[in-house]
Structure 1
Amino acid sequence: MHNDDRAGRTGDGARGPEDRRPGDDPRRPDAVAPRVWPSTPPAHGAPPSPRTVIDGRYELLEPIGSGGMGEVFKAHDRRLRRFVAVKGLLDRNAMTAATQAAALQRARREAEAIAKIEHQNVVTVHDQVETDNQVWIVMKLLEAKSLGELLSGDGVLAVPKAANIGLQVVQGLRAVHAASVVHRDVKPGNVLVRDDGLAILVDFGIATFEGADRVTRSGSVIGTSSYLAPELFAPGSPGPTPASDLWALGITLYEMVEGRVPFAGHEVWEVQENIRQSPDPVLRYAGPLAPVIQGLLITDPRERLDAATAEAMLREVLGDPAAPNAARAAAAATHPPTAVSTPNPSTPNPSAPAPAPVPAPGPAAPPPAPAPAAAGPPGRHRGWKTAAAVVCVALLAGAGWLVSRGGGESGGDGGDRAGSVRGPGDGEGAAGSGSQERWKDTHDTLRIGVKDDQPGLSKFDKKTRTYRGYDVDLAYAIAESMGYGKGEVSFTTVATDYRSTALKTKQVDLVIASYSITDDRKTASPGGYSVDFAGPYYDASRSFLVREKSSKYTINDSSDLVDLRVEVCTARESTYETELPKRGFTMAKSQPNTYQDCLDKLLDPKSDVYAVASDDIILAGYVKANPGKVRQLEPINGAEGYGVAMRPKSTLLKGEVCSALRTILAGRIWEDMYKENLADLVGRKNPPGRPDLTECEGF
């Protein structure tokens, strides 16, 4: 049976109250006298009444929900004998006799324009019908969940999935804009995602032509507050344009990977004020999507990424072979660089060869004529047209974020080429050619994935823009042993559920992020990626964090958590997610991707989360950072051995890391790092016993 013939999701994204997310309600003008409208089916048990039939063909069966304007009905097409979605473009509560004629004319033109759009990522329009006081759109009835529903259940999406959905939406928007239509309400609730991964842009209830009036009768900008572009509120604004749709796409991409909208606020003025005060939202988990999101969220619409460039960059993120000129298109884009820690040129490695001169870029195209900035300091993003775009292209292509298009994991580190791969026992630096090859010979920068929210272990300092902690010091010590200067080490934030992906997609060479060594991670980690480890370099105990004071429960030890069946939060894809249910603990329904997010839930008095499960060293850092608010329970049975993770079959790299770890653990370096970063947290002056490097046997 075709999707058309199944009762499912409406093609315009209409939803019932249970489908809405906070801040997702469309803003509409104050209601006036109601207009004549098709009656809805009677409630259960009530006597049946004649159903409304539109144009003698479309029988309205039941209301599906509310879209941007008006109601949407499931209907039966009597002629073709199929189910469809039928929506009236005019809001019955927003029309008066004086404005009805003009509104009908405008809706008629919009309906005709939308009906001309034929694209797999835009809802299919079957027909347009006009009655005495309404313009109806007949659309395909879809069986799919909205992106908003997916985010409500999962919290965040993995970067590849988010990039794939974003690519499909921008492709749909290009078709919409080519028809001279502006959607005006791009958001997760208006993107449907089928089980096969197809994303469809829906709900054109408030769509308009480019340049149409932007203000309703009440003086409000139409749309959903969190997704409205700042230029819509600037004096003399031309109103909604394709650029404002792309801003909304940037907000949606951000929400997919970060789990929240970048500019919070319940009212429009709150959102816009947050944009004005902090126009550059922090990106913690966006990885290769960071340049795309930042480019779409440039406050000046003249410098914002256009749809073609955004599509090219998204294809590069996905390694899509259908975009051979994607890098070239991105080089012409205007967007700021992504937020990653790059090597500091002020601390070069004395032994490193001088870098080759970089050819000067060609002359850039002349900038557009000056005009008042929509938000933020005037000209804040100017000057990035060439330089920053080149940085983004380098990050996307040069930094190895492209998904491999073939082969597999063989030669996973990219440096162990034929003739230079060592096997166990071959000796340090041995190569088939007889030369002494080192990892640094083919990798000028050592790229390391770390956490940014674990006091004592790895914390990002926003003021100094640097990482610090035990894991960071260990990373520098390993890098020094491998011949890297401090300025040749680049750090990137990796969340718990993204560590293996960061390795797989070759954003980083190593991950040093309290990464527990387990057999399942070595064979096939979540997402289908396997990783290899060197280590362990530290053994941590398993423990819980609870509220210092709770008006509902008295929790003295871990057994109380089991007996009271209180919800326990942990990071998604951590060892605790699968281990604790086996021990009788009740887990939160949806786990976030960081322990910090769990801590935020624990500190929220309205939350149902009463405990956070993690390693004792991680939790000790949270206790110190939140004095008087949380306390740590006694550890439970079991230990977590932290390892340095890398791609499988990275023989050369693993040999050098293992050699470095032997040196670090054998001397005072390991003890000094412990005393500097962890001793005060755990309340023990001396470090625990030195771990055995079981994952380095044979190297």
Structure 2
Amino acid sequence: MHNEDRAGRAGDGARGPEDRRSGDDPRRPDAGAPQEWPRTPPHAAPPTPRTVIDGRYELLEPIGSGGMGEVWKAHDLRLRRFVAVKGLLDRNSMTPATQTAALQRARREAEAIAKIEHQNVVTVHDQVETDNQVWIVMKLLEAKSLGDLLSGEGVLAVPRAATIGLQVVQGLRAVHAASVVHRDVKPGNVLVRDDGLAILVDFGIATFEGADRVTRTGSVIGTPPYLAPELFAPASPGPTPASDLWALGVTLYEMVEGRVPFAGHEVWEVQENIRQSPDPAIRFAGPLAPVIQGLLITDPRERLDAATAEAMLREVLGDPAAPNAARAASATHPPTAVSTPNPSTPAPGPAVPPPAPAPAPVMSTPPPAPSAAGGPPGRYRGWKVAAAVVCVALLAGAGWVASRGNGEKGGDGDRAGSVQGQGEGHAGSGSKERWKDTHPTLEIGVKDDQPGLSKFDKKTRTYQGYDIDLAYAIAESMGYGKGEVAFTTVATDYRSTALKTKQVDLVIASYSITDDRKTASPGGYSVDFAGPYYEASRGFLVREKSSKYTINDSSDLRDLGVEVCTARESTYEKALPKQGFTMAKSQPNTYQDCLDKLLDPKSDVYAVASDDIILAGYVEANPGKVRRLENIQGAEGYGVAMRPKTPVLKGEVCSALRTILAGRIWEDMYKENLSGLVGDKNPPGRPELTECQGL
């Protein structure tokens, strides 16, 4: 929608796919457009002066027009109020052959949009069909577009940008819950009232379940710099909620950086810019950076979903949702929980400009729910957790001040609002050394054979699991991007060697914290730990069926004297013989090797000793073949291992772990990766960071 600053602007605009404003400033595709809609639509005159629609809505003046219809300021004769009335069909551009199909689509569009009831989405009052036209009657809004604000102010301070972004994502959750995709999220389609309330408008090209693809007869639907990269692909499934979230990421970037991340007036230009530089430089976003990065992930499957983005924006604002805020139904389609206004928030009324822009009313945060795109609840895959960690870490020190003036134009001068890192690990004027200053890539040793904890997927060529999510989280807190993290597989008996030879900086591989590992021993190497980040119980894995022995519990293993296998240099190698268990003559260097022996009917190995969470992963990966026995005495506290005498590194890791364990991030990682394995939705008690005391 064109940017305009009109008292009484319509809540929804109208324009066609060709409306790309070729003369715009490439820094901001949403700026530079005419500041008012033309007084008369370019191709459609008023049906009749003072025409009354359905005997109720008197058309007063055109507000906007385009390839997708026309918008009028109108007077509701029954309720005596001004409204915006949008005709969804541009009748002059239609042939009789397309009239019926267009009418049917317009009806569906009107019905879909009318289902959305949310204070951050333009309100639809009525739907009327007359004379081969479908009209939507909407609230007439008095507000400036976000595009206008950016044109006048250049950039917004981070808290203000986060407040607007939070409201937009809440509106999008309501839109997506109604099975609607907006398809044109951008600053020009976000209205901001003087009291700070942000409203998503212009559903002129919105789509819904069963609608057509992103291209139509060779024309691109939407504004190129805000189109998600997956929409460019020839086999694209078309617009999805994920593509709306990409556009939100572009909008957030534009608010704080003063330009779009991927410039270009034509689709091919934007596509090429994304291909060449998929990770645009972020200099002034501060704690908003992880949110923006998460929304601008080119793979829509890994992109932040709306619920996660909302939670992260709340963290940026330091404002968790009010626990008793009411949640009203926002749409007839219930697949995605939707935030609704706090009941204490007054209903929107005439805008009274305050001395300074005030944050918008706080919305309630819904419980985790599947995304409209079908993603799992609480999608904290990989670096998504890390992004949330950074938000919390940056704010935890209470020293970060967003003081960028609203009048800045996005230049490279004095940036008072640039993020100032707290504590060790952040370089800059007056700051201490960062590990990243001398280590541009963070090398992390991990396991590749532990389902749920750390597993290498040969198809995707990626590592997955709880330890991997934790690794990304720590890396992000230390200032590393996802592409600056490198994983190396380390076997149990090679972990300390990998650290000693500096092949890796950290080891996050179910590495149990023990005194002997922290003290150099003959033939071995001492390591330092941060943690523990998780505490596991000890247990055994046995064959589901055995033709020779009946094994019901761990005492049977001891009484029968059958061989138990464990990984070489694990804690079990020394502990179990002292408890009377018979160990295999030689221990392999991985638990997977022990599992292979257990599954071999010719092997003398009848049990594998390891941590309960590791064994649970093997049970899930081998259904009907193995089973767990009850846990035995003892626990394993997993730590992040590093070389001794690396205080900068340990300080940064401990800082990240404190943030992870303090909030919901730790619980979400557990629920995402481990709860299904152990059959317990609730995580175990939070461990105390005994190896981080004094830091």
TM-score for both structures, normalised by structure 1: 0.47
TM-score for both structures, normalised by structure 2: 0.47
